[in-house]
Amino acid sequence: MLAILLLVAFISFPLFSGLVAPLVPQQVVDAVGAEMIKDTASQGSFCVAPEGKAALQKMAGRIAPHIGDYELKIYVSDQEVFNAFAAPGGHIVIYQQIIAHSDGPNEVAGVLAHEVGHVIEDHPTKGLVEAVGYGIFSAMTPGSDDTKRVAKSLLTSAYSRNDELEADRRGVELLNAAGIDSRGLFSFFDRIKQAGDQIPGALQFLSTHPSGETRRENLEDVALEGEPSLTDEEWKALENICSEKGLPQPVIVRGTVD
């Protein structure tokens, strides 16, 4: 009987994480997010070319008025990793390989909006709850062993397919509200899938996300044609954002509250 109860608890726990996530103390959320950025910084440098950051600021700034009461801290990492992730506390990291293999700024905007979708849907904090269980309210502080352990766990974990599709849809809605062409997200995934193993790390990245067909079915009723997210000159600057590297210097944008 105990074994059955434990199994039921294990299976059902993710269902309750969404209810617990809003109750997580902000100091815990901030500590784990900061630790994830610190861990990422230990693996490589961040891309900080001023013109590239200005282009990223413009792209994110077009989305920001529609994100509500959130603050986003967006970084580009120079690591040879094909990925992007959202961390607790509004941190978003895009690895330079995503930019290098995107066919224009709208695809990067699609990936960025998808990660913003994770933030708005509180997926990073839900993942935090699932990583440590209901003991989340224990005294986790910046730099503590528990905080470091949870941060490392989140860096290697993946969202559920349902969370990914939810972030897709929210991201597309954000792009539509900003007037940006929102078809870039699934065009990015379609093209990466076609490239297959020609792009190092792409197949592993795709394995943790819904298929292109599933994405299209999820988005075809909401994705719209729109404006480019950047001019040609700005896109060139974003492509060259890693021409200067240094410590984490995020692009920061804040939403508006009605």
User: Would residue 139 count as lying in a domain?
Assistant: yes
User: Would residue 47 count as lying in a domain?
Assistant: yes
Q: Mean pLDDT check: name the lowest of 29-33, 92-96, 114-118, 244-248.
A: 29-33
- List the alpha helices (DSSP H) in the chain: 2-20, 26-43, 50-63, 96-100, 105-120, 123-132, 145-155, 161-178, 184-195, 202-207, 212-219, 232-239
Mean pLDDT of the chain, nearest integer: 83
User: Would residue 5 count as lying in a domain?
Assistant: no
pLDDT of residue 214: 72
Domain extent, residue 246, equals 24-254
pLDDT grade, residue 186 (50/70/90)? confident
Report how many domains make up the chain: 1
Cβ–Cβ under 8 Å, residues 108 and 238: yes
User: Would residue 183 count as lying in a domain?
Assistant: yes
User: Would residue 163 count as lying in a domain?
Assistant: yes
* Sign of the alpha-carbon torsion through 136, 139, 145, 147: positive
Token pair of 108, please?
A: 């990067």
Cβ–Cβ under 8 Å, residues 95 and 76: yes
User: Would residue 3 count as lying in a domain?
Assistant: no
**Calpha distance 234→53 (Å, rounded):** 10
User: Would residue 160 count as lying in a domain?
Assistant: yes
Cβ–Cβ under 8 Å, residues 74 and 253: yes
pLDDT of residue 51: 98
Most confident segment among 34-38, 49-53, 203-207: 49-53
pTM of the model: 0.85
User: Would residue 38 count as lying in a domain?
Assistant: yes
